[in-house]
Amino acid sequence: ACMVTAAHAADMTVGFSQIGSESGWRAAETSVTRSEAAKRGITLKFADAQQKQENQIKAIRSFVAQGVDAILLAPVVATGWESVLKEAREAEIPVVLLDRTIDADKSLYLTAVTSDTVHEGRVAGEWLAGTVGDKPCRVVELQGTVGSSPAINRKKGFDEIVAKHDNITVVRSQTGDFTRTKGKEVMESFLKAEDGGRSICALYAHNDDMAVGAIQAIKEAGLKPGSDILVVSIDAVPDIFMAMANGEANATVELTPNMAGPAFEALVAFKETGKEPPKWIQTESRLYTRDDDPRRVYEEKKGMGY
Amino acid sequence: MMPGTATRALAGALPRFSVLALILLASWLAFPGYFDVTVNDGRLYGSLIDVLNRGAPVAILAIGMTLVIATGGVDLSVGAVMAVSGAVAATLIADGQPLAVALAAALGAGVLCGLWNGILVAVLDIQPIVATLILMVTGRGIAQLVTEGAIVTFVDESLIFIGSGAVAGMPMPVVIAAVLAAAAVLLVRRTALGMFIEAIGVNRRASVQAGLNVRVVLIAVYVASGFCAALAGVIVAADIRGADANNAGLWLELDAILAVVLGGASLLGGRFSILMSIVGALIIQAMNTGILISGFPPEFNLILKAAIVVVILVLQSPQAGRIAAAIAARTGITRRR
Amino acid sequence: MTTRIPDAGMLNARPFNVRLFNAGTLPLVATLAIFALAYAVCVVQFPAMLSTRVAANLLTDNAFLGIVAVGMTFVILSGGIDLSVGSVIAFTGVLLAVLIGRAGVHPLVAFALALAVATAGGAVMGAMIHHLEMPPFIVTLAGMFLARGMAFVLTTDSLPVEHAFYATLQQLYWRLPGGGRLTLIAGVMVAVTVAGIILAHRTRFGANVYALGGNRTSAALMGVPVGATTIAVYALSGFTAGLAGIVFSLYTSAGYPLAAVGVELDAIAAVVIGGTLLTGGAGFVAGTFVGVLMQGLIQTYIVFDGTLSSWWTKIVIGALLFGFIVQQRALVWLSARRPSAGSAT
Amino acid sequence: MAHPSPLLEARGLGKSFLGQTALDGVDFTLRAGEVHALLGENGAGKSTLVKVLTGVHRRDAGTILMDGAEVAPHDTAGAQALGIGTVYQEVNLLPNLSVAENIFLGRQPRRFGLVDRRAMERNTRTLLAGYGLAIDVAAPLGRFSVAVQQIVAIARAVDLSGRVLILDEPTASLDRQEVETLFAVVRRLKARGLGIIFITHFLDQVFALADRVTVLRNGRRIDTVAVADTDPMAIVQMMLGRDLEEVESGPGRPAAAAGAAPAIAFEGYGRRRSVEPFDLAIRPGEVIGIAGLLGSGRTETARLLFGLDAADSGTVRIDGRSVRIASPRHAVALGFGYCPEDRKTDGIVGDLSVRENIVLALQARRGWLRPLSRAEQAELADRFVAALDIRTTDIEKPVKLLSGGNQQKAVLARWLATEPRFLILDEPTRGIDVGAHAEIIRLINRLCDGGMSLVVISSEFDELVVCSSRIVVLRDRRHVGELAGGALTATAIMRTIAAGGADDRTEAA
Ligand SMILES: Nc1ncnc2c1ncn2[C@@H]1O[C@H](COP(=O)(O)OP(=O)(O)OP(=O)(O)O)[C@@H](O)[C@H]1O
Ligand SMILES: Nc1ncnc2c1ncn2[C@@H]1O[C@H](COP(=O)(O)OP(=O)(O)OP(=O)(O)O)[C@@H](O)[C@H]1O
Ligand SMILES: [Mg+2]
Ligand SMILES: [Mg+2]
**Rounded-to-integer distance, Cα D135 and Cα D100, Å:** 10
Q: Residue B228: in which H helix or E strand, if any?
A: helix B214-239
Can you give the pLDDT at residue B5?
55
Q: Are C10 and D129 in contact (CB under 8 A)?
A: no
Closest chain C C-alpha to D114 CA, distance in angstroms: 5
Q: Is the CB of D467 under 6 A from ligand 2?
A: no
Q: Are D348 and D361 in contact (CB under 8 A)?
A: no
**Number of domains composing chain B:** 1
**Rounded-to-integer distance, Cα C82 and Cα C125, Å:** 9
Task: Name which of C53, C158, C306 is nearest A46 (Cβ-Cβ).
Answer: C306
Q: CA C168 → CA A57, C107, C184, D313, distances in Å?
A: 20, 12, 10, 71
Contacts of A116 (CB under 8 A, 6+ apart): A282, A285
Percentage, residues of chain B above pLDDT 90: 74
CA of D144 relative to ligand 2 center, distance in Å: 6
Instruction: Note the residue count of chain B.
Output: 337
Q: Is the CB of D460 under 6 A from ligand 2?
A: no
Crossing angle (nearest 10°) for helices C85-97 and C63-77:
140
Q: Are D459 and D68 in contact (CB under 8 A)?
A: no
Rg (CA), chain A: 21
Residue ranges with strand state E in C3-122: none
**Rounded-to-integer distance, Cα D80 and Cα D106, Å:** 11
CA of C341 relative to ligand 4 center, distance in Å: 10
Query: Which one is predicted more confidently, C304 or D248?
Result: C304
Closest C-alpha to D157, from D192, D185, D122, D116? D185
Q: Are A233 and A210 in contact (CB under 8 A)?
A: yes
Task: Name which of A15, A44, A54 is nearest C61 (Cβ-Cβ).
Answer: A54
* Pairing mode of beta strands D195-199, A95-98: unpaired
Q: Examine residue B301 and state whether it is found in any structural domain, yes or no.
A: no
Q: CA D113 → CA C165, C210, C231, distances in Å?
A: 35, 19, 22
Q: CA C310 → CA A19, A23, C296, D314, distances in Å?
A: 10, 12, 17, 56
- pLDDT > 60? residue D253: no
Q: Residue A157: in which H helix or E strand, if any?
A: helix A149-164
Q: How confident is the model at residue D412 (pLDDT cuts 50, 70, 90)?
A: very high
Can you give the pLDDT at residue D468?
86
Closest chain D C-alpha to B182 CA, distance in angstroms: 18
Can you give the pLDDT at residue D422?
95
* Single-letter amino acid, residue C178: G
Closest C-alpha to C71, from C89, C57, C59? C89
- Of A256-260, B329-333, D137-141, minimum mean pLDDT range: B329-333
Q: Residue A268: in which H helix or E strand, if any?
A: helix A260-273
Closest chain C C-alpha to B144 CA, distance in angstroms: 6
Helix, strand, coil tally for chain A in percent (to 5)? 45, 20, 35
Q: How confident is the model at residue C333 (pLDDT cuts 50, 70, 90)?
A: confident
What ipTM was predicted for this assembly?
A: 0.91
Q: Examine residue B309 and state whether it is found in any structural domain, yes or no.
A: no
Interface partners of chain D (CB pairs < 8 Å, 3 or more) are B, C
pLDDT in tens, B264-322: 898 889 999 999 999 999 999 999 999 999 888 998 999 998 998 888 878 878 777 77
- pLDDT > 90? residue D448: no
Which one of B195, B214, B215 makes the best mutation probe of the D interface by having the most chain D beta carbons within 10 Å? B195
Percentage, residues of chain D above pLDDT 90: 66
**Rounded-to-integer distance, Cα A8 and Cα D347, Å:** 76
- D76 interfacial to chain C (CB closer than 8 Å): yes
CA of C214 relative to ligand 3 center, distance in Å: 23
Can you give the pLDDT at residue B331?
64
Q: Examine residue B315 and state whether it is found in any structural domain, yes or no.
A: no
Task: State the average pLDDT over residues D292-318.
Answer: 92
Closest C-alpha to C299, from C287, C286, C314, C281? C314
Contacts 24+ apart (CB under 8 A), B105-108: B106/B230, B106/B233, B106/B234, B107/B227, B107/B230, B107/B231, B107/B234
Q: CA D367 → CA B214, B286, D364, D376, distances in Å?
A: 12, 40, 5, 15
Q: Mark yes or no for CB contact A46/C157 under 8 Å.
A: no
CA of B163 relative to ligand 2 center, distance in Å: 60
pLDDT in tens, D9-60: 999 999 999 878 999 999 999 999 999 999 999 999 999 999 999 999 999 9
CB atoms within 10 A of CB C141: 26
- Of A248-262, B249-263, B303-317, C67-81, minimum mean pLDDT range: B303-317
Identify the contact set of chain B against chain A, taking CB-CB distances under 8 A.
31, 33, 40-41, 43, 45-47, 50, 54, 144, 148-151, 153, 164, 236, 239-242, 244, 246-248, 289, 292-293, 295, 297-299, 301
- pLDDT > 50? residue D82: yes
Closest chain B C-alpha to C96 CA, distance in angstroms: 19
State the DSSP code for A175: E
Q: Examine residue B141 and state whether it is found in any structural domain, yes or no.
A: yes
Phi and psi at residue D322, to the nearest 5°: -90, 135
- pLDDT > 50? residue B233: yes
- Of C66-75, C325-334, D369-378, D422-431, minimum mean pLDDT range: C325-334
Residue nearest to atom 13 of ligand 2 (CA): D145
Instruction: Note the residue count of chain A.
Output: 306
Contacts of A95 (CB under 8 A, 6+ apart): A60, A70, A71, A72, A73, A85, A88, A89, A108, A109, A110
Q: Mark yes or no for CB contact C321/B214 under 8 Å.
A: no
Q: How confident is the model at residue C12 (pLDDT cuts 50, 70, 90)?
A: very low
Q: Can you list the domains of chain C with their CATH numbers?
A: 8-338 (1.10.3470)
- B16 interfacial to chain C (CB closer than 8 Å): no
Contacts 24+ apart (CB under 8 A), D232-239: D232/D203, D232/D207, D235/D39, D235/D203, D235/D206, D236/D203, D236/D434, D236/D435, D238/D39, D239/D39, D239/D40, D239/D41, D239/D44, D239/D215, D239/D433, D239/D434, D239/D435
Taking the CA of residue C12 as reference, the ligand 2 atom at the shortest distance is 1
pTM for the model stands at 0.92
Mean pLDDT of chain A: 92
Instruction: For D114-157, give the DSSP string.
Output: EE-HHHHHHHHHHHHHTTT----TTSBGGGS-HHHHHHHHHHHH
CA of D149 relative to ligand 4 center, distance in Å: 12
Closest C-alpha to D295, from D127, D457, D94, D475? D475
- pLDDT > 70? residue D256: no
| Domain region containing B237 | 42-295
- B149 interfacial to chain C (CB closer than 8 Å): yes
Q: Are A291 and A285 in contact (CB under 8 A)?
A: no
**Rounded-to-integer distance, Cα D304 and Cα C340, Å:** 10
Residue ranges with strand state E in D18-144: 20-31, 35-40, 61-66, 69-71, 84-87, 110-111, 114-115
Q: Examine residue B28 and state whether it is found in any structural domain, yes or no.
A: no
Instruction: For C214-231, give the DSSP string.
Output: H-HHHHHHTT--HHHHHH
**Rounded-to-integer distance, Cα D350 and Cα B207, Å:** 11
**Rounded-to-integer distance, Cα D412 and Cα A104, Å:** 75
CB atoms within 10 A of CB B29: 11
Contacts of C139 (CB under 8 A, 6+ apart): B313, C125, C128, C129, C132
Task: Name which of A23, A173, A175 is nearest B246 (Cβ-Cβ).
Answer: A23
pLDDT in tens, D475-501: 988 999 899 877 888 888 888 888 875
Per the DSSP assignment, residues forming a β-bridge with D316 are D266, D323
Q: Mark yes or no for CB contact C202/D114 under 8 Å.
A: yes
Contacts of B283 (CB under 8 A, 6+ apart): B16, B19, B20, B23, B259, B262, B312
Task: State the average pLDDT over residues D271-285.
Answer: 91
Q: Can you list the domains of chain D with their CATH numbers?
A: 8-245 (3.40.50.300), 246-335+422-507 (3.40.50.300), 345-419 (no CATH)
**Rounded-to-integer distance, Cα D9 and Cα D147, Å:** 31
Q: Examine residue B94 and state whether it is found in any structural domain, yes or no.
A: yes
**Rounded-to-integer distance, Cα D25 and Cα D38, Å:** 16
**Which ligand lies nearest the alpha carbon of D149?**
2
Task: State the average pLDDT over residues B141-152.
Answer: 93
Q: Residue B320's Cα: distance from chain center in Å?
A: 26
Q: How confident is the model at residue A8 (pLDDT cuts 50, 70, 90)?
A: low
- pLDDT > 70? residue D249: no
Task: Name which of C253, C302, C310 is nearest A21 (Cβ-Cβ).
Answer: C310
Burial class (CB in 10 A: 0-12, 13-18, 19+), C11: buried
- Of A164-178, A221-235, D425-439, minimum mean pLDDT range: D425-439
Closest chain A C-alpha to B299 CA, distance in angstroms: 7
Taking the CA of residue D459 as reference, the ligand 2 atom at the shortest distance is 26
Per the DSSP assignment, residues forming a β-bridge with C266 are none
Rg (CA), chain B: 20
Q: Give helix then strand counts, H and E, for chain D.
A: 17, 22
Q: How confident is the model at residue B9 (pLDDT cuts 50, 70, 90)?
A: low
Q: Examine residue B208 and state whether it is found in any structural domain, yes or no.
A: yes
Q: How confident is the model at residue D83 (pLDDT cuts 50, 70, 90)?
A: very high
CB atoms within 10 A of CB A253: 25
**Rounded-to-integer distance, Cα D161 and Cα D366, Å:** 50
Contacts of B247 (CB under 8 A, 6+ apart): A22, A23, A177, A178, A179, A180, A181
* Pairing mode of beta strands A95-98, A111-114: parallel
Interface partners of chain C (CB pairs < 8 Å, 3 or more) are A, B, D
Which one of C45, C158, C298, C321 makes the best mutation probe of the A interface by having the most chain A beta carbons within 10 Å? C158
Can you give the pLDDT at residue A306?
82
- D344 interfacial to chain C (CB closer than 8 Å): no
- D349 interfacial to chain B (CB closer than 8 Å): yes
Can you give the pLDDT at residue C331?
77
**Which ligand lies nearest the alpha carbon of D217?**
1
Residue in B with minimal Cα distance to A147? B299
Q: How confident is the model at residue D245 (pLDDT cuts 50, 70, 90)?
A: low
Burial class (CB in 10 A: 0-12, 13-18, 19+), D383: middle
Task: Name which of D329, D394, D395 is nearest B213 (Cβ-Cβ).
Answer: D329
Rg (CA), chain D: 23
Q: Mark yes or no for CB contact B317/C132 under 8 Å.
A: yes
Check which CATH number belongs to the domain holding B143 and give it.
1.10.3470
Burial D147-175, CB ≥16 within 10 A → b, else e: bbbbbbbbbbbbbbbebbbbbbbbbbbbb
Crossing angle (nearest 10°) for helices B47-70 and B214-239:
160
Interface partners of chain B (CB pairs < 8 Å, 3 or more) are A, C, D
Q: Examine residue B318 and state whether it is found in any structural domain, yes or no.
A: no
Q: Is the CB of D170 under 6 A from ligand 1?
A: no
Q: Are D473 and D482 in contact (CB under 8 A)?
A: yes
Given ligand 1 and candidates D395, D397, D403, which is best to mutate, with the most ligand atoms within 8 Å of its CB?
Answer: D403
- pLDDT > 70? residue D1: no
Q: Is the CB of D76 under 6 A from ligand 1?
A: no
- Chain B residues near residue C281 by CB distance under 8 angstroms: none
Closest chain B C-alpha to D360 CA, distance in angstroms: 7
Residues with CB under 5 A from ligand 3 (ion): D 47, 89, 403-404
CA of D202 relative to ligand 1 center, distance in Å: 19
Q: How confident is the model at residue B6 (pLDDT cuts 50, 70, 90)?
A: low
- pLDDT > 50? residue B139: yes
Do A and D touch, 3+ Cβ pairs within 8 Å? The answer is: no
